[in-house]
């Protein structure tokens, strides 16, 4: 995946340094700061480094632009800190954490959960026709039990094959039905799965139009990015290119952004 780093103007990189906490002074060192960061940027990936575009908690914890995960990342101080903070933020449940399209986990501020849900969530009615059988089986168990460890959930749902289970859990996360609620290390390392509804009932009940959702997601991204290159928003959010385009165009119409070239948008206030 040769990422041809289209050169961004230095002033845009500086804007991103500030907005995405890529400076030593802005470095994130504890869970509360991480939550503030997520609320500020709207959404960000968890442990990805500078090789992937977009804001990242790991990069913010490193506090530098070119953060790169080392090979033995669990022996690395910054990486372990990122790991710990990530787990604590998930446990606290103030912000959303889950997998979107492309099976990448991201954090989402509570404010934007209705928007992401509007784009990829499923209504209760759609569940039967859209979800795979294993996913439906798992969901049924969780609706009764509320929360469960991986092992117990596998047993109770009858989805015992590990890869089938993982697939089904990913599927449920993508449609905003299930989230990891806690990561437990003792006595055994396991995830506790819970219903998205248990933590984000109000957000899931808030309806947002598709257009509005695309616009606000694009706005959150552009505000931090300062400028987006062709395909960038789609790559970061998992939206399709046309959808990302709709969001960006809405920002141009509103005067929030200007279009510099096909697929390239700039924050208006940055000129």
Partner DNA sequence: AAGAATTCACGAGTGAGGCA
Partner DNA sequence: TGCCTCACTCGTGAATTCTT
Residues lying near DNA in the complex (CB under 7 A): 1-2, 45-49, 51-52, 69, 71-72, 74-75, 101-105, 150-151, 162-163, 166-167, 180, 183, 187-191, 230-231, 234-235, 240-242, 263
- Residue (13 or 87) nearer to DNA, CB: 87
d(CA 63, CA 211): 34
d(CA 144, CA 185): 25
- Residue (75 or 124) nearer to DNA, CB: 75
d(CA 46, CA 153): 25
Long-range contacts of 159-168 (CB under 8 A, 24+ apart): 159/134, 164/134, 165/134, 165/138, 167/132, 167/134, 168/132, 168/134, 168/135, 168/137, 168/138
Q: Least Å distance between CB 114 and DNA?
A: 23
- Residue (114 or 180) nearer to DNA, CB: 180
Q: Least Å distance between CB 62 and DNA?
A: 13
Q: Least Å distance between CB 170 and DNA?
A: 8
- Residue (80 or 126) nearer to DNA, CB: 80
- Residue (130 or 207) nearer to DNA, CB: 130
Q: Least Å distance between CB 60 and DNA?
A: 13
Q: Least Å distance between CB 85 and DNA?
A: 12
**Cβ–Cβ under 8 Å, residues 248 and 261:** no
Alpha carbons within 13 angstroms on the beta-carbon side of residue 241 total: 6
d(CA 258, CA 271): 8
């Amino acid at each position: 995946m040769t990422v041809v780093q289209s050169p961004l103007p230095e002033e845009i990189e500086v804007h991103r340094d500030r907005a995405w906490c890529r400076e030593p002074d802005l470095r994130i060192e504890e869970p509360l700061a991480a939550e503030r960061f997520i609320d500020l940027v709207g959404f960000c990936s968890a442990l990805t480094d500078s090789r992937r575009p977009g804001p990242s908690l790991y990069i913010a914890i490193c506090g530098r632009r070119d953060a790169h995960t080392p090979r033995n990342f669990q022996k690395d101080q910054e990486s372990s800190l990122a790991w710990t903070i990530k787990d604590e933020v998930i446990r606290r449940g103030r912000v959303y954490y889950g997998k979107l399209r492309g099976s990448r986990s991201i954090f989402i501020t509570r404010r934007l959960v209705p928007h992401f849900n509007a784009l990829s969530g499923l209504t209760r009615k759609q569940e039967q026709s859209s979800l795979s059988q294993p996913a439906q089986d798992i969901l049924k168990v969780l609706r009764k039990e509320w929360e469960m460890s991986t092992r117990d959930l596998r047993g109770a749902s009858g989805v015992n094959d590990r890869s089938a289970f993982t697939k089904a859990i990913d599927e449920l996360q993508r449609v905003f039905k299930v989230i990891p609620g806690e990561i437990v290390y003792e006595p055994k390392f396991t995830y506790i799965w819970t219903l998205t509804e248990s933590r984000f009932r109000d957000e899931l009940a808030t309806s947002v139009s598709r257009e509005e959702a695309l616009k606000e997601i694009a706005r959150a991204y552009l505000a931090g990015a300062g400028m987006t290159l062709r395909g960038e928003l789609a790559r970061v959010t998992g939206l399709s290119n046309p959808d990302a385009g709709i969001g960006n165009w809405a920002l141009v119409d509103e005067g929030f952004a200007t279009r510099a070239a096909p697929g390239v948008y700039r924050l208006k206030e940055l000129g």
